[in-house]
């Protein structure tokens, strides 16, 4: 049986993993270059591993009646969002393959320019959907992590996030050494 703290850590870890993956996804198809099909394939593979991890976390909580509740539901929702992301990236891969089958440049073939434009639009919409799905999964996991913490831990965490980091007090630099006093003659003699 997991403690609320271990649930919160598992939920936060899963949220970080989804967030990191989201940051690595291409943003749009309307840049100077389309996404690299190999990068899209690697992200699908990474999501597959993450789906396995999320599935294991859900299974652990769903099989024990005492563990059911918001953490199990949050992992199930995150699984759904990750699966939707894989579907969206699959669409990106499909459209990239269709574009690769078209002759490069203006071919003069009827409909080829339209097919190219349609594929790029579809890629862009799928990438935007992938980002939205992952962002939603991250939000659900973070909210669940905050909800499972005991009240004292939650208020301590809130206090820490409200605290402004303070810069260490500036230690005054040591006073510069006094210049050597010039040697003055005293009654005709030097010191």
Nearest to 34 by CA among 76, 118, 96: 96
DSSP code at position 191: -
What pLDDT was estimated at residue 180? 55
Looking up tokens 């909580």 gives: 61
Q: What is the pLDDT of residue 82?
A: 97
Phi-psi domain of 108 (left: phi exceeds 0; alpha: psi -120 through 50; beta: other): left
Q: What is the pLDDT of residue 187?
A: 56
Residue 177: the pLDDT is 56
pLDDT in tens, 9-25: 999 999 999 999 999 99
Terminal-residue alpha carbon distance, the chain = 85
- Report pLDDT for 181: 52
Q: At what angle do helices 4-24 and 70-101 cross, to 10 degrees?
A: 10
* pTM for the model: 0.73
pLDDT the model gives residue 191: 46
Per-residue pLDDT of the chain (191 residues; tens, 9 = 90+): 678 888 999 999 999 999 999 999 988 756 667 899 999 999 999 999 999 999 999 999 888 776 567 899 999 999 999 999 999 999 999 999 999 888 776 666 667 788 888 999 999 999 999 999 999 999 999 999 999 887 665 556 555 666 655 554 454 455 555 555 555 555 555 54
């Amino acid at each position: 049986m997991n403690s609320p703290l271990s649930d919160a850590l598992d939920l936060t870890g899963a949220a970080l993993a989804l967030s990191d993956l989201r940051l690595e996804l291409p943003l749009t198809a309307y840049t100077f270059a389309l996404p690299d099909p190999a990068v899209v394939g690697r992200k699908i593979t990474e999501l597959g591993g993450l789906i396995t991890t999320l599935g294991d976390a859900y299974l652990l909580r769903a099989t024990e009646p005492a563990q059911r509740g918001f953490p199990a539901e949050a992992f199930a929702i995150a699984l759904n969002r990750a699966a939707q992301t894989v579907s969206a990236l699959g669409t990106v891969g499909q459209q990239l393959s269709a574009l690769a089958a078209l002759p490069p440049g203006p071919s003069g073939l009827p409909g080829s320019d339209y097919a190219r434009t349609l594929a790029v639009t579809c890629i862009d919409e799928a990438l935007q959907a992938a980002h939205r799905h992952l962002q939603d999964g991250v939000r659900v996991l973070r909210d669940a992590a905050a909800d499972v913490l005991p009240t004292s831990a939650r208020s301590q965490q809130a206090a820490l996030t409200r605290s402004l980091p303070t810069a260490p007090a500036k230690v005054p630099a040591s006073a510069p050494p006094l210049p050597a006093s010039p040697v003055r003659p005293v009654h005709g003699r030097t010191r």
